[in-house]
């Protein structure tokens, strides 16, 4: 049993759009709007296209105020910093770049920006770029404030600060319809604030090490790949996977117990998602006493999971003793 196709594939044109089709679609939408029904739209507009295809064409190409062409340095930085903090959430990243589409940004990242960061200039296949130069570029793109004197005074911590994205508009919950938005302002404030915000929002960033670039001096410039997480997963993934955040939190002076809760602990046991904090509780290292753990979990009080159940020290999953609380980043 396959999934029902979204449209009659036999009568649907595929491939590149012709100027006539573009004109028809644009004219129709400008006249009548989408009518809240993309599936019916192509028929009404006289197009032999799938609704999904129309939607994509409109959103990525025909919609007004779409920006095409080169990305600016500022846009580069925003993409890099957001990618470092939330990973490949292109739609969220696109929401921060007016006129850019998620598809655009995804393509740009995959074809150019990633290579730029790794020191492989597009259409310039020089195999051995000076490592120092490469490192500088990565540093500049990911941590502009640390390499420019204008922002250099923000942090005194030995770790590179996350970029200060002053140009970003305040992020409202409406913008994404999801709670993890609190993660973003947090990222703009420095490690301890981020930690606090992650704790309070119930979401955390799990850093992995999808890409890492070694430089000649043996140090490693890590481009951390984050995924927005929820309470249902307290990542304690094994060693290498978590080392990005671990070293970050470590350098930030966040004590080990807290790092562990944030998923930064290296080499620890995995805490499975659906059992959430209850298993975390069960598996907490013996050296942490009840009071310490209780204090750490105390921040849960007053929050609810997506089933509307209260989270508490006594019932960290909000499951009433059983079950999961898969928040999917939705309202907790």
Partner DNA sequence: AACTGCTTCAACCGCATCTGG
Partner DNA sequence: ACCAGATGCGGTTGAAGCAGT
User: Quick check: 140 binds DNA (CB under 7 A)?
Assistant: no
> Least distance to DNA from the beta carbon of 136, Å?
21
User: Quick check: 128 binds DNA (CB under 7 A)?
Assistant: no
User: Quick check: 266 binds DNA (CB under 7 A)?
Assistant: no
Among 24, 28, 45, 51, binds DNA (CB under 7 A): 51
235: three-class secondary structure by DSSP:
coil
What is the separation of C-alpha 127 from the centre of its chain, rounded to a whole number of angstroms? 31
Number of residues that bind DNA (CB under 7 A): 45
User: Quick check: 240 binds DNA (CB under 7 A)?
Assistant: no
- Piece of the chain touching DNA by CB under 7 A; list 29-37, 198-206, 241-249, 288-296: 29-37
Contact in structure between 178 and 197 (CB atoms under 8 Å): no
Structure tokens at 69: 């062409």
| Alpha-helical regions (H) of the chain | 19-32, 41-44, 51-57, 73-86, 90-95, 102-108, 114-118, 131-142, 144-147, 173-176, 183-187, 191-201, 239-251, 256-261, 276-283, 290-297
Among 67, 88, 200, 315, binds DNA (CB under 7 A): 88
User: Quick check: 39 binds DNA (CB under 7 A)?
Assistant: yes
Structure tokens at 331: 């309202």
Per-residue binding string, DNA, 269-308, x by CB under 7 A, is ----------------------------------------
Nearer to DNA, 40 or 251 (CB): 40
Contact in structure between 51 and 41 (CB atoms under 8 Å): yes
What is the separation of C-alpha 115 from the centre of its chain, rounded to a whole number of angstroms? 19
Among 26, 29, 67, 103, binds DNA (CB under 7 A): 103
Among 43, 48, 294, 330, binds DNA (CB under 7 A): 330
Instruction: Tell which residue, 245, 258, 267, has the closest CA to residue 293.
Output: 258
Instruction: Tell which residue, 19, 35, 99, 93, has the closest CA to residue 64.
Output: 99
Among 23, 27, 44, 107, binds DNA (CB under 7 A): 107
Hunting for tokens 């941590």 — which residue is that? 143
User: Quick check: 90 binds DNA (CB under 7 A)?
Assistant: yes
Among 31, 125, 128, 322, binds DNA (CB under 7 A): 125
User: Quick check: 130 binds DNA (CB under 7 A)?
Assistant: no
Residue 43, phi then psi, degrees to nearest 5: -65, -45
**Which CA distances in Å does 70 have to 198, 255, 294?**
34, 43, 51
> Least distance to DNA from the beta carbon of 178, Å?
7
Contact in structure between 164 and 184 (CB atoms under 8 Å): no
Among 76, 102, 230, 246, binds DNA (CB under 7 A): 102
> Least distance to DNA from the beta carbon of 266, Å?
24
Residue 122, phi then psi, degrees to nearest 5: -60, 140
> Least distance to DNA from the beta carbon of 307, Å?
9
User: Quick check: 126 binds DNA (CB under 7 A)?
Assistant: no
Write out the residues near DNA by the rule CB under 7 A: 3-4, 6, 13-17, 34, 36-40, 49-53, 55-57, 60-61, 68, 88-92, 102-104, 106-108, 110-112, 115, 122-123, 125, 328, 330
């Amino acid at each position: 049993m396959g999934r029902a196709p979204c449209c009659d594939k036999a009568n649907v044109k595929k491939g590149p759009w012709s100027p006539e089709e573009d004109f028809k679609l644009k004219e129709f939408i400008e006249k009548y709007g989408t009518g809240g029904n993309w599936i019916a739209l192509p028929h009404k507009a006289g197009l032999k296209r799938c609704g999904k295809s129309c939607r994509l064409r409109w959103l990525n190409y025909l919609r007004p105020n779409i920006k095409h062409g080169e990305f600016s340095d500022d846009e580069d930085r925003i993409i890099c910093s957001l990618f470092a903090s939330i990973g490949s959430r292109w739609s969220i990243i696109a929401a921060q770049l007016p006129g850019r589409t998620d598809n655009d940004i995804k393509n740009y990242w995959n074809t150019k920006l990633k290579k730029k960061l790794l020191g492989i200039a597009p259409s310039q296949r020089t195999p051995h770029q000076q490592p120092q130069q490469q490192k500088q570029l990565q540093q500049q793109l990911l941590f502009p404030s640390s390499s420019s004197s204008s922002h250099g005074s923000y942090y005194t911590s030995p770790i590179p600060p996350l970029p200060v994205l002053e140009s970003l508009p305040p992020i409202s919950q409406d913008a994404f319809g999801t709670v993890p938005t609190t993660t973003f302002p947090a990222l703009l404030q420095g490690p301890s604030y981020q930690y606090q915000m992650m704790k309070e929002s119930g979401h955390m960033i799990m850093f992995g090490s999808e890409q890492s670039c070694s430089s000649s001096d043996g140090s490693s410039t890590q481009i951390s790949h984050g995924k927005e997480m929820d309470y249902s997963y307290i990542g304690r993934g094994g060693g290498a996977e978590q080392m990005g955040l671990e070293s970050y939190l470590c350098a930030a002076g966040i004590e080990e117990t807290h790092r562990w809760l944030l998923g930064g602990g290296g080499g620890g046991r995995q805490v499975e998602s659906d059992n959430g904090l209850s298993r975390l509780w069960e598996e907490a290292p013996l050296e942490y006493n009840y009071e310490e753990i209780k204090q750490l979990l105390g921040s849960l009080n007053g929050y609810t999971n997506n089933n509307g159940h209260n989270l508490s020290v006594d019932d960290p999953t909000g499951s009433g003793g059983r079950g999961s609380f898969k928040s999917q980043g939705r309202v907790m």
